[in-house]
A = this chain, B = another copy of it.
Amino acid sequence: MKIGIIGLGRMGGNIARRIMRAGHETVVFDRNAPAVAALVADGAIGADSLEDMRDKLDAVAIYWVMLPAGDPTEQTIATIAGFAKPGDIVIDGGNTFYKDDIRRAKMLAEKGIHYVDVGTSGGVWGLERGFCMMVGGAKDAVDTVDPILAALAPGIGTIPRTPDRDGDKNDARAEQGYIHAGPAGSGHFVKMVHNGIEYGLMQAYAEGFDILKGKSSEKLPEEERFDLNLTDIAEVWRRGSVISSWLLDLSAAALAKDQMLDAFSGSVADSGEGHWTIEAAMEEAVPVNVLSAALFARYRSRVDHTFGDKLLSAMRFGFGGHVEMPQ
């Protein structure tokens, strides 16, 4: 197959490479010319513009947009929509808010253009491990791009099969590492919840290691302290414990490099998915204390002191004469 790929950053570039490794052709475009050149060196067909890409694709054109969510993706899809033909397929492989997918799919459908949203997990490791993909869109369109998805997916590999999977009820593709989740938007919805869970898992480890580290703190009486080797603890939990996971593997690797993690500032970003996950939960009236606490810990990590903290001190001063003022 032949596929156009727009956006050749860390993710887009690796996606193009993995598709080519499987024997497909890619036409690639990025505003940053050297990124195009690098892919061309790896065998891709370069394009100077979206229109140039269109001219180099097949009669039924397939576009994979791999850009930051929001304006960059929105504008690129609008441009493609301007010249695409009925039957063409536009794939958004980024981190788009699923309600934007639903809106776009409806808009493109009026022109006979198919829209497929692909939530993609796997990060910088995807080129080698394959990408885990959650796909939304009409069945026909998803089936058309299936060879591309199959090429990107990790495949069954060495991961043990889940017992009791019933072939009749379930999608065989799941074992290959991708699923057709449902109509447009559902792919990004599932990916969004995936990221919400990711935040929760990460924060659970973070809090646990905080407690381990705090056990040597001088805040504690000397006889209550343990001086624990966090590197070894992360390592041992990888081996036979209930909490082994890929995130723990990454933690163990980071701690093995530097148990103090001094290279990291402690200011933690969040992309939109954590926020949207909480919104989705509220729309459904589902209680999500863990997922929200994980998100809020990141917000809190990015400020020195909240105004709210100062108000607490002001109240304490008001009722108790407690003084909590800067030195």
Q: Mark A24-38, 1 if CB is under 8 A from B, else 0.
A: 000000000000000
Q: Find out whether the CB atom of A186 lies under 8 angstroms from the CB atom of B132.
A: no
**Nearest Cβ on chain B to A198's Cβ, whole angstroms:** 5
Contact A319/B242 with A224-B283, A308-B209 known, Cβ cut-off 8 Å: yes
Q: Find out whether the CB atom of A240 lies under 8 angstroms from the CB atom of B202.
A: no
Q: Mark A298-324, 1 if CB is under 8 A from B, else 0.
A: 111110111111111111111111101
Q: Find out whether the CB atom of A284 lies under 8 angstroms from the CB atom of B211.
A: yes
* Chain B residues in 8 Å Cβ range of A121: 237, 240-243
Kindly state whether residue A204 has any CB partner on chain B within 8 Å.
Answer: yes
The number of chain A residues with a CB under 8 A from chain B is 155
Kindly state whether residue A175 has any CB partner on chain B within 8 Å.
Answer: yes
Q: Find out whether the CB atom of B242 lies under 8 angstroms from the CB atom of A247.
A: yes
Q: Find out whether the CB atom of A286 lies under 8 angstroms from the CB atom of B236.
A: no
Q: Find out whether the CB atom of A236 lies under 8 angstroms from the CB atom of B297.
A: no
CB-nearest residue of chain B to A162: B252
Q: Find out whether the CB atom of A288 lies under 8 angstroms from the CB atom of B196.
A: no
Q: Find out whether the CB atom of B164 lies under 8 angstroms from the CB atom of A326.
A: no
**Nearest Cβ on chain B to A247's Cβ, whole angstroms:** 6
* Chain B residues in 8 Å Cβ range of A198: 242-243
Q: List the 6 shortest-distance A-B pairs measured between CB atoms, nearest first.
A: A200-B204, A266-B305, A245-B245, A206-B308, A250-B318, A214-B284
Kindly state whether residue A1 has any CB partner on chain B within 8 Å.
Answer: no
Q: Using a CB-CB cutoff of 8 Å, which residues 211-257 of chain A contact chain B? A: 211-215, 217, 219-220, 224, 226-229, 231-233, 235-257
* Chain B residues in 8 Å Cβ range of A131: 240
* Chain B residues in 8 Å Cβ range of A118: none
Give A164 to B10 CA distance when docked, in angstroms.
24
Q: Find out whether the CB atom of A201 lies under 8 angstroms from the CB atom of B245.
A: yes
Q: Find out whether the CB atom of A174 lies under 8 angstroms from the CB atom of B232.
A: yes
Q: Find out whether the CB atom of B235 lies under 8 angstroms from the CB atom of A175.
A: yes
Give A277 to B249 CA distance when docked, in angstroms.
22
* Contact segment of A50-58, A85-93, A267-275: A267-275
Kindly state whether residue A210 has any CB partner on chain B within 8 Å.
Answer: yes
Kindly state whether residue A281 has any CB partner on chain B within 8 Å.
Answer: yes
